[in-house]
Structure 1
Amino acid sequence: MAPPPPPSTLIRSKNFVAQPVVASFIAGGVAGAVSRTVVSPLERLKILFQIQSVGREEYKLSIWKGLAKMWREEGWRGFMAGNGTNCIRIVPYSAVQFGSYNFYKRFFENTPGANLGAGQRLACGALAGITSVTCTYPLDIVRTRLSIQSASFAAIQRKEPGARLPGMWATMSSMYKNEGGFLALYRGIVPTVAGVAPYVSGSLITDIIYGS
């Protein structure tokens, strides 16, 4: 009797994508990109509000007036400033978060496939949050830089009118060369990790509780 033919490339691809870790990786990345794009204007406005200081008071406005100012001065591009980098960041961030949760889950299960207790879920969520932030933190810093470089802050030095602003890779390269090398891309990582670990843990536990 002849052996059965090997599975086709399409079937092998479907089987690969159907694996829990891979499926979570893809679904998390797509969901993250879509959600960040929808709230991009508010994300950018939040950053502009956060950097208010003496000499940077142009965005001491209400939310609606701030959004209107962005639209008047920069149009649709103002709403989306930094969103490309944010999507590039959030796809691996969300994907790594969901994928690593399923990966770490294997080490905390009492038996394969067993449900995790609250403490085990908390630990998995914390590790997943730390992993995702560490992998994508340089893009988070660059996204912040890109969000403010075109804003109408008088204190921010500008090039000639109409000059093209640096993009993601140029900004990252400049930080690496001029601000301390690799460590410059991870400036502020410790408080970020300290905040994201309990946040992700709580979010995952809440999702599991209300989803069950």
Structure 2
Amino acid sequence: MPIICLEGASAVGKTTTCTTIANIGNTYVVPEVNLLFERPKNMSKTWYLERQVERWKIAKRKLCEYDFVILDGDIFQPLCYNWCFHFEIFNQSLTFLHEFYESEIKVGNILFPDKYFYLHTSTDNIRSRKENDQTRQRGNFEKHIRIIEPHQRYYEVLNQFVPHIVQLVEASNMEHNVKVIMDNVPLEPLCKDSEGLLNHITDWLTNSKA
């Protein structure tokens, strides 16, 4: 019973795809942090990271009840987002992030998903979908638009360290998204060594510019 993750740019269709899959099968969706938890007024430096760990724990518990679980957004997202914004916005250095995730992996509190599906489409399509979606407020949307290229590049490079752990899905329409994902859900984890993958990612982020 796998845990998969859907990723991609804001407004590309991750949440809608997750919901559609859940509606047609025995699947549980773990929402992103901002939809699942209420942010405290005095948020600690590790609050967001700790909530990602909690999302993983929810996913693991739900595997007992469902055929598979989908993470709507990456539990390791802070690595990518901080890098995309040159570690200047969220006050979290790469060393800080690495040490947090490494300690949680060592005690078994979090692991990498069994597989990522990365949804992508043109910037024009993303803007159009954002404008036509009245169900959600998307803060800092223009900032997210500016990091589309490095964000996708980050996920593509994961395949260098764990072959096929990330599958790109051209998000042309919902039927296509669902078919590609359902046809390619892995039978077993593709990543056998989460600590090793974290180390590879950290080295790559250290030596690569967004």
Structure number, greater radius of gyration: 1
Same fold (TM over 0.5): no
Structure of greater relative contact order (alpha carbons < 8 Å, 6+ residues apart): 2
Higher strand share: 2
TM-score after normalising by structure 2 = 0.25
Higher helix content, 1 or 2: 1
TM-score normalized by structure 1? 0.25
